[in-house]
Structure 1
């Protein structure tokens, strides 16, 4: 999932809150982290929602605003590895607000 990083002139609270992603953490990490990764968009919209209501609130967000809620099915350990090994450059794309991670250039 391609998530931009906005400059201070382009950033707004709404843009920032919606530039996160829900992803599967698996049962053990969901238990240990109270589902924060699997309900991450909801957490950024309203961090005061307690973890035990986050699953319900996330389902409401996904059902009512499906185009705004980002989801990446890549498990967290694979996503972290991908980011650590492939994403090193941040650049701005023409005509689009924000900066985007680019893959490491090939040698």
Structure 2
């Protein structure tokens, strides 16, 4: 009886864990590569992370990065999910086969806020792993920091002297 059951189900119990791990190995790097980056300027994207006070749907969608993942295999087997990831966040119900055309229009519309990076897959994963260790505990617009606590980019207000603060010489500003 047991051998008949085994013949009926075949190698399914053996192949299921293998297939699950294989799919996971391709899908898990996608969010890591599409939502994180902290490499030095000028040509790399630096998507910010927003806390509730600053977050809105458009900012969250624009804080993603399009990256070619696995070349033609990623386009075919993963339905362009990484190649056209930004447009996926703006229009999550759009069919995958419209991603390329929609990305062309969206990138024109949002201009400098559109982020694209064509770094090779494993190089990007390695850089993200090493450069994106944590975000600050305070603030509403956050950027990843590396192990030394250095960020490649800071929020815009960090570059301006605020009224009533002291400059580098200890002189109070008006």
Deviation per CA, 1:34-75, whole angstroms, max 9, x where unpaired? 111110110011011111111111111123332221111223
Matched, 1:103 2:146: yes
Kindly indicate whether residue 53 of structure 2 is the aligned counterpart of residue 14 of structure 1.
no
Query: For residue 4 of structure 1, what is the aligned residue in structure 2?
Result: 48
Q: Which residue of 2 aligns with 1:28?
A: 73
Residue segments in structure 1 that go unaligned for 5+ positions in a row: none
**CA RMSD of superposed structures (Å):** 2.1
Name the structure where strand makes up a greater proportion of residues: 1
The answer for the alignment partner of 2:93 in structure 1 is 48
Q: Does 1:72 align with 2:117?
A: yes
**8 Å contact 1:39–1:54 — kept in the other structure?**
yes
Q: TM-score, normalised by structure 1?
A: 0.84
Number of aligned residue pairs = 104
Contact kept in structure 1, 2:135 and 2:143, CA below 8 Å: yes
Once the two structures are TM-superposed, the CA of residue 86 in structure 1 deviates from its matched residue by 2.8
Correspondence for 2:102 among 49, 53, 57: 57
Higher RCO, Cα 8 Å, sep 6+: 1
Contact 2:50–2:142 (8 Å) recurs in 1: yes
2:149 pairs with 1:89? no
Query: Greater CA radius of gyration, 1 or 2?
Result: 2
